[in-house]
A and B are shown apart, each in its own frame.
Chain A
Amino acid sequence: MEILESKYNEENKGLLHDIREFPISRKDTSGNQTGTWRTLLPVFQEGVAPCSEACPAHIHIPGYMGLVCEGKLTEALNIIRRENPLPAVCGRVCPHFCEESCNRGEFDEQVNIRTVERFIGDYGLDIPLKKEINKIRGKVAVVGSGPAGLSAAYFLARKGVVVDLYEREAKAGGLLRYGIPEYRLPRDVLDREIENIFALGVNFLKERDIGPEELPSLTKEYDFIFFSPGLWARNIPQWGYSGKAIFNGLNILKKIYKGAIPSLGHRVAVVGGGNTAMDVTRVLMRLGKEVTIVYRRTLAEAPAFADEIKEGMEEGIQILERKLITRIEDRIDSSLMIEIQDAVKERGGKIVPDGEKTHRVVDSVVAAVGQAPEMGIEKDDKVFFGGDFETGEGTVVHAVASGKRGAFTILGKMGVLNRDETDKYFRLTGELANRRIINYDELNTFYFRKEKRLEPKRLGAGKRVKDFLEIVAQASQNAVMAESGRCLSCGTCNLCGACWYFCPDASVVVSETGPRKVTFDLDFCKGCAICSVSCPRGCIVMEAEQ
């Protein structure tokens, strides 16, 4: 037995601490390879953000958002251009399916991807596109220079393919030029983006109408043919009228854009609820006409983009919902009398006129009732289709995606494509089974705080109906950088280091330069999954240890 107190003076002189009194291991911990306890293995695996998945062109949105918020605009532009040569156009007219499925919407409000894309697109107008391969590798004819044809031409030319782009009209752009109004897409922006594509060495052959009869000679001249002539004005109903005061909406728009003023009179009735109906109405209002839309459903059911309807309503469009024109007659003063009835849905879904007949006097009727293909052509292993012609009425970005898909398929057949690139593209398009979409519940939102979505300035409704000036203003670079900082970077590691901070065994290695951004020291990783849980963006998955 030892009585400490009485002895302390001799025994404890000085207080140099001895390792035997301090609870510390004598040897270092490297011998204690805690990795042997592991039953679950952390695996760094980036996933696909729902926005990228929803975007038909599968732009790597979190990838460029991360660069924009660091001010690396050129790098961001290159990421977009990997998938889409028309960001300035799409930043304006694309309905942005990406935003609809943006995870941030479940947290506060979706990221304003459109505004960021447009800013980067405009930034790139002066920056030439890059050719990746210069050597000539075969020859392809592209028919139709709408977004589908432009996109196909770009992805082919980039790889050194000689592209002849045939277009019926004098200028390229398709519906971008002859459908979408200038107040939504200024023509100088469109021109510059097209010029950039042509500068890659695309031969633009204007005013060349290619019909089915030309096909045999084209197949001889070219290795492949990409057909994207779009859809054009469909035959319109006449409502029992045989005079000249009924017009096709798409043709009217085309005429106006070419500089002609159509003789429609002052009072115009527009029939339809799609984008053409909205655009033609708003264009005619800007020309001083008194326009009334007659639509057989309600606006809420209309296929026109929500933004278009909203802006149109702000501008004061007149609309008769759930109405059908049943008859049109000439009047002596060369105006028209239109007879209108309620539109009622029959059993089986057919819409028929019913109820009281009312009458209205107008000077002309513009029918905007959809588009149809103009020609019948057979697909074969040298002839590929794209754009609206292939799929029916779509959107610009669908057309861009189809051009890209066509180009990639052709490049694959030519044997020019490196495997990686096809994989990258087709992974997103759902053709590789192991892609992982990072949905909201896979995020760890602990790190984020609520922030308001950026809303760019717009011209006031009263002002904008007087001219064709662009409605939506460009946002400032600071605002765009801040907005891109709202992106949660779903599925894309942005080296935030949360895993590194929280790993209790100091087994996470984060590297900016390595081939993988995150690796694990498996000698010590116990497989606790803290890294996986702490990752804000779902980039670390746990797998059963073999």
Chain B
Amino acid sequence: MSKDMMTGSDAVALGVKLAKPDLIFAYPITPQTHIVETLSEIAPSWGGRFINVESEFSAIASCLGAVSAGSRAFTATSSHGLLLMHEVLHWFVGARMPLVMVNANRAIGSPWNIWADQSDSLAQRDTGWLQIYCETCQEALDTVIQGYYISEKLLLPVMVMIDGFIISHTMEEVEVHEPQKVDAFLPPYAPQFKLDVDDPRSFGNAALPDDYYRMRKAIQRTFTSGFEVFRDCHNLFEDVFGTRYDLMEAYLCDDAETIFLVAGALTGTTRVAVDMMREKGMKVGLIKLRVFRPFPKHALQKVIAGHQDVIVLNRAVSYGAQGTLTQELRSAFYNVDDNPDIYDVIISLGGKEVFPEILMGVCEGIKADPAFKDEMIWV
């Protein structure tokens, strides 16, 4: 085992290298560019091919073709690039094709803004992709590898989120896994169904309403049962690499009166804020929501039940309603007896800076005036 300093982009590229996809199709976009730039250079090192396509639509559509023909594939994108893929994102799920795609979270125009928020990926909430949000460069690397494991078992595509610039462009110490270990963790892709000239079958052909309904139901069933695969994945990963991951992480929650719920790199800032508040004697904790789809409703219920307040830090808004994460959490506590007060905080859109002091201020504010719980709180 060795360690190295690298950016989140390079950590992702390293994860891809270790997972050895046969084909990579990509179109560059800030802040994802470094990922595909590096991959374009190193793909031949494991016998992979990097194909620079003319748009994100082509990138994701080419991945669909590659995976249908039995290859392991990869792509990465961001923001407007992800939006351009939208149609094929749906198709991928219906086609039950596995893929790992990294999305460097970035705001959406207009006006132009290249900094981080989560509007791009959370807008893909209903496409049926699994979504995992990373806090560190190491987690980005590890999640890419885990992504293939999960995706190929569930036959559903996985989107791995890293915050634009905050992770993609920031260097951290990263543990570089030995290839043999990765091979032990991740078996080669051996699809049960693939395009085969010797056994020509029609993929995704017209389905009558009843068949369509049944196949859609099967997608939901896979999501539900998918938690088992996550558990297996996390256990095996711990066995092989010694690091534990889970659907979510509860930090100092046991005795907390107030819990922050957050996803992505903002978790790091919130951790510092929680430590600061603890020093001041405030009873606060934090839940890092790592896996957003499938939504770990039961796990969240278990951790949160009995606590007084949850402050949800949203980096995407469902306009005219609530922060996207808030909506999810509130619905998880509908009809649950022991439900907390859930505060809807909209924070850091388009890369707006967040300091621990700001988070402390939010916490003090809602304590001072519980009426905030019926408001959308823009800080």
Residue positions of A touching B, CB distance < 8 A: 4-5, 8, 11-12, 15, 17-25, 27-30, 32, 506
Contacts and interface: CB of A to CB of B under 8 A. Distances in A.
Contacts of B202: 24-25, 29, 32
A11 B224 CA distance: 11
B332 interface: no
B94 A23 contact: yes
- Most chain B beta-carbon neighbours within 10 Å: one of A4, A11, A22, A506: A22
A417 B128 CA distance: 73
B153 interface: yes
B214 A17 contact: no
B199 A24 contact: no
B220 A4 contact: yes
Interface string B95-112: 110000000000000000
A23 B153 contact: no
Contact of A17 (B155, B204, B217, B228): B155
Given A4-B220, A28-B199, A506-B197, A23 B204 contact: yes
B198 to A, nearest CB: 9
B155 A22 contact: yes
B218 A21 contact: yes
Contacts, number: 67
Interface residues of B, number: 28
A30 B197 CA distance: 11
A5 B224 contact: yes
Nearest to B198: A28
B168 to A, nearest CB: 33
- Most chain A beta-carbon neighbours within 10 Å: one of B155, B203, B224: B224
24 contacts: A4-B224, A5-B224, A11-B225, A12-B221, A12-B225, A12-B228, A15-B222, A15-B225, A15-B228, A19-B193, A20-B215, A20-B218, A21-B218, A22-B155, A23-B207, A24-B201, A25-B202, A25-B203, A25-B205, A29-B200, A29-B201, A29-B202, A30-B200, A506-B197
B192 interface: yes
B203 to A, nearest CB: 6
A23 B215 contact: yes
B229 interface: yes
Contact of A23 (B197, B205, B220, B221): B205
Nearest to A7: B224
Contact of B96 (A11, A12, A17): A17
A32 B202 CA distance: 10
Given A15-B229, A29-B200, A23 B96 contact: yes
Interface string B277-306: 000000000000000000000000000000
B59 interface: no
A32 B200 CA distance: 11
A53 B199 CA distance: 47
Nearest to A29: B200
B43 interface: no
A8 B215 contact: no
Top 9 nearest A-B pairs (CB, nearest first) are A12-B225, A21-B218, A25-B202, A8-B224, A29-B200, A8-B225, A25-B201, A23-B204, A28-B200
- Most chain B beta-carbon neighbours within 10 Å: one of A17, A18, A29: A17
B160 interface: no
Nearest to B227: A8
Given A8-B221, A15-B225, A21 B199 contact: no
